[in-house]
Chain A
Amino acid sequence: MLDVRGLKKVYEGSGRRVEAVRDLTFTVEAGELVCLVGPSGCGKTTLLKCMGGLLTPTAGEVHLAGRKVSGPPPGMAFVFQEYGRSLFPWMRVADNVELPLKQKDLSKARRRELVTDALESVDLAEAAGAYPWQLSGGMQQRVAIARALAYEPEVLLMDEPFAAVDAQTRADLEDLVRRLWRERGITILFVTHDIDEAVYLGERVIVLSASPTVVREQLKVDLPDERDQLHTRVTPRFAELRTHVYEQIQAAKRGVVQDAVVTKSDTPPLR
């Protein structure tokens, strides 16, 4: 479904040359939920923007359902981390969800149907007439998810969508993503810096190295399909997987110290 081949992105400007992404190759199959996790500052956002056609890669290609991505493809929907700046505050919730649909060739009745359905599946049917700023952070991010669902994308790209909400809301939103994925069979690529989140959500976890980024490891998450916050997170297998990913990330960070010109003195957080 989503095919990334030899992706490379170099930023050049004012005498500085920053190689953010060196060489990335991976695929996401149709109907898969894949989590991308890597040390902070590893070029996750750059990668997502290249995939979403918002940035042109220096080298390499991204293919969505067999077509090469060169500009935002219609079969892709984004959920951004900054929900407060991604929803339009001058539009009510339903209008926010409907706006992207107006660019598609859909009848008014069909649009309304999609909006109602999307808002119902994130449990926000009663908030349709509210403005985004009247809602809590978690609800706003649910609106952003509803907007993406209504768009009926082939692939849903989520860029650290829950980094800015509190822990309890975050757990609820994680379960929401799992539920939507299972109910609707959509393809999701979920980018996060939270290792537990990546293991809890994903069917597969792609571990990235530090910038300049390459794929460090691809890991199949062999946890049962039926997951819940209470039990899944205490299973021995979950602990093994997250420990493994954590070690990989730590190794990736040490890699930074060896390669980089500038070394930062931040110690990894204790858990």
Chain B
Amino acid sequence: MKRFALRLVFVLALPALLVAVWWLASDGSTNVFWPPLRTILQTFPDVWTAERLRTDVLPSIWRLAAGYALAAVAGVAVGTVIGSYRRVRAVCEPVLEFLRAVPPPVLIPVIMLFAGIGDTMKVTVIASGCVWPILLNTVEGVRAVDPVMLETARSYGITGPSRLRDLVLRSASPQIFAGLRQALSIGIILMVISEMFAASNGIGFTIVQFQRSFAVPDMWTGILVLGLLGYLLSVVFQLVERRALAWYHGLRDSTRRSP
């Protein structure tokens, strides 16, 4: 219990300090664009009502989830194929490097042309940005499967779906999760950006809307909501990862203890 309390203090100390600095530094501010934190927090409950959560936050989360899931499935599937066959890899690698180098936001105007301005466009934008880290990490993970393990599987007749499920994907899972983690932050960025183009709801839309109507404290609350959402998602991600990769962390700790 005491250790838990101590950890809590460590976790909360820096955020509390930063909030305090912001609070004190902005308290006497008369600058319209830098309202005092006090004002922002007072505005917060008025802006982010249950109604607003339903009409703006939920659609954003839904788009993010759909785009992210699509990217995860496509990235792992295509990555596994590319990682498994050397020929396919030789053909695909230069193209992949090029596609990855294109910043996803510049695709928004292009995607708008054929996917319209609705949810399809936003989900496509999120998916097309998230897919790269997942795909490239999966390729590396699948390539790095231990040859002794592959030979073991072969000699015991572990082939087909079982080989994929019980060996290749499990062995690549630490890298796949590294890709998924990078993709999550990219996804949040793209969710906001895509909503700033031709949208009628969503967190990104709301923030732009407040900015254009000079509701500056309201705009700041939107930024806070985004920060909180990102933090929450990363906590959830860590929980999932810790469960799925418990073996990996255990293995790493045990090899660190006895090299």
What is A's interface to B at a CB cutoff of 8 Å?
49, 52-54, 72, 74, 76-78, 80, 82, 85-86, 88-91, 99-100, 102-104, 131, 133-134, 147, 151
Contact = CB atoms under 8 A, between A and B. Distances in A.
B156 A54 contact: no
B255 interface: yes
Given A77-B155, A99-B158, A133-B254, A90 B247 contact: yes
A72 B167 contact: no
Interface string B10-47: 00000000000000000000000000000000000000
B255 to A, nearest CB: 7
Interface of B: 146, 148-149, 151-152, 154-159, 162, 166-167, 170-171, 173, 247-248, 250-251, 254-255
Contacts of B162: 99, 102-103
11 contacts: A72-B156, A74-B157, A78-B155, A80-B148, A80-B151, A88-B170, A88-B171, A102-B162, A131-B251, A133-B250, A134-B254
Given A90-B170, A99-B166, A78 B247 contact: no
Contact of A88 (B154, B159, B166, B255): B166
Contacts of A151: 156
A89 B247 contact: yes
Given A76-B155, A99-B166, A102-B162, A131 B250 contact: yes
Given A54-B155, A86-B148, A133-B254, 9 more contacts: A53-B155, A72-B154, A77-B155, A89-B247, A90-B247, A99-B158, A102-B162, A104-B157, A147-B156
Contacts of A53: 155
Nearest to A137: B258
Contacts of A147: 156
A147 B151 CA distance: 15
Contacts of B152: 78, 80, 86
B251 A133 contact: yes
Contacts of A103: 156-159, 162
B151 A77 contact: no
A107 B166 CA distance: 19
B167 A88 contact: yes
Query: Which 4 pairs, one residue from A and one from B, show the smallest C-beta to C-beta distance?
Result: A100-B156, A85-B148, A90-B247, A78-B155
A84 to B, nearest CB: 9
Contacts of B170: 88, 90
Given A88-B149, A133-B255, A54 B154 contact: yes
A217 B200 CA distance: 85
Contacts of A77: 155-156
Contacts of B149: 85-86, 88
A100 B146 CA distance: 18
Nearest to A101: B156
Contacts of A78: 151-152, 155-156
A193 B154 CA distance: 25
